[in-house]
A and B are shown apart, each in its own frame.
Chain A
Amino acid sequence: MQLYKPEVEAQRFWNPYTQTMPRADLDRLHLRKLQTVIAYAYAHSPMYRKLLDRHKVRPEQIRTMDDFVKRLPFIDKKEILDAQAVSPPFGDALAISEDFFHQRFATSGSTGVPLHIPLTYHSAELWGESWVYGFWAAGLRARHSFYFAFNWGIFAAFWSAYMGVRRLGATVVSGGGLDSKARLRQIEQYRPDVLLATPTYALYLGETAREIGMDLAKTSISHVYVAGEPGASIPATRRAIEELWGAKCYELYGIAELGPTNPGCPLQGGVHLCEEWYHALVVDESGHPVPYGEVGEHIVTSYIQDGQPLIKYRTHDLVRWTDVPCGCGTTWLYYPGGVLGRTDQMIIVKGVNVYPSALEALLHRVAGLSEHYELHVARDAVNDFVTVKVEARAEIGEDRYASVGREAEAVFKSVIGVSIGVEVQKPGSLPRYELKAKRFFDHRPVEHRWQLTGGPGA
């Protein structure tokens, strides 16, 4: 007996109807979904009613995609926090009775106050389904088991992946409440097929494995699915994870307050927008959509958040969007390279945009450098300038640090066209992280960082 009929299990797409829909039809469907979500938010969320009233726009005035782009305001995390502060934890942002709550999440509040995230059963199922598009495309089915190297806390993190594994009908193996060594022993014992972790942690487990004399490439893990920070869409990082684990590496890009917006492309070079449950724009600093092929800030509308609707939400993530047909066969928008950086990590050196993910990818081209690095950005009178601090691999002698550094500088200069300083350091000299790594250190004055100055109602 099988969960899926063989002819269904052989399908390439989880939902062929929308995943192969022509762009014009997808856009028409988006408009209908957007109108539905805007009407719902206006009727149920005091925050959205006030926002739309303030901008003198009513849901029935959004008749075309152009209306949506030009008339409807963006919303930022700060406005959600202000609405929640009216009557914590959810205040004016809440759009549904607490009867419907399934789970509550919060962000860490590392940049201020934590943002509270109410999730209904409906939202939870569909957060999960967004992962399933990626799982299914990567060949994962109900017979596979998924190991969660994750402590089940109040942060959304891999909870949505758990919802996805349930939705797929596959098996969850929990690595919660354990240290890294115990997790590796569990992997040996339970023989899961898939590891779910941040890219930083997937690599960190390699150091733990070396300590206990374990070869991760010989474990049962055939797929590593990473999320939480850029990873599998950066070729060198993907290669490092794949070599370490002897497995294929995929990624999902998500945002805590929105959910898993972009499952990975099975061809591994980037992510697709999950157009079933999300709409996106990519805009420049003046708030205008950039043409396909260009980089800008990712602005997302969720069709899932019935507890706390988010429409034209500023993610502050920089992505390049494209509508060119993807080799994997889907018509959904493709973001090559995944997330390229954050708007507050935008670096311009002598007029050239420099993306942190590009620097990471190039760093891995230099033999003798490890995956542990930090980017330090400062500014003189007219220009940003960047220094990369990177650890050498253990097999490289200290007498070679200067020459390896010069080699990395030459790679940056030849590919990006500008000078980037490189300081090579001893192994173990930079901090280690179990979840997301802090790699970006910005020493520039605030006024020299990306600011969205335009847009509807600005």
Chain B
Amino acid sequence: MTREETIERIRGIQAEVQRLRQASDNPAIERTMQLLDLYCHMARWELGDVEAMIPEAETR
């Protein structure tokens, strides 16, 4: 898989995770989705896809 394909798939997963985080009213699920959001953000930085310093500072 190319870097570009990897980034595109991570971005897609992250967007879905963010929607789930917003939709859930379960604290355990919200925290897990928040961490998944963070890990997607980290993975994108590791591939040079730099948008904001932390996920919460990204444009949404």
Contacts and interface: CB of A to CB of B under 8 A. Distances in A.
Q: State whether these chains interact.
A: yes
Interface of A: 15, 17-18, 29, 32-33, 36-37, 40, 96, 120-122, 125-126, 129, 276, 303, 306
B36 interface: no
A18 B54 contact: no
Interface of B: 3, 35, 38, 41-42, 45-48, 50-54, 57
Nearest to B56: A100
Given A122-B54, A129-B42, 12 more contacts: A17-B3, A18-B46, A29-B50, A33-B45, A36-B50, A36-B51, A36-B52, A96-B54, A121-B38, A125-B42, A276-B45, A306-B54
B34 to A, nearest CB: 9
A17 to B, nearest CB: 6
B58 to A, nearest CB: 10
Contacts of A17: 3, 46-48
Nearest to B52: A36
Given A40-B57, A306-B53, A125 B48 contact: no
Closest 7 CB pairs of A and B: A40-B53, A306-B54, A32-B50, A29-B48, A15-B46, A306-B53, A33-B50
Given A17-B3, A121-B35, A122-B38, A40 B48 contact: no
A126 B53 contact: no
Contacts of B46: 15, 17-18, 276
A40 B46 CA distance: 19
A68 B47 CA distance: 23
Given A15-B46, A17-B47, A37 B53 contact: yes
28 contacts: A17-B47, A17-B48, A18-B46, A18-B48, A29-B48, A29-B50, A32-B50, A33-B50, A36-B50, A36-B52, A36-B53, A40-B52, A40-B53, A40-B54, A40-B57, A121-B35, A122-B38, A122-B41, A122-B42, A122-B54, A125-B38, A125-B42, A129-B42, A276-B45, A276-B46, A303-B53, A306-B53, A306-B54
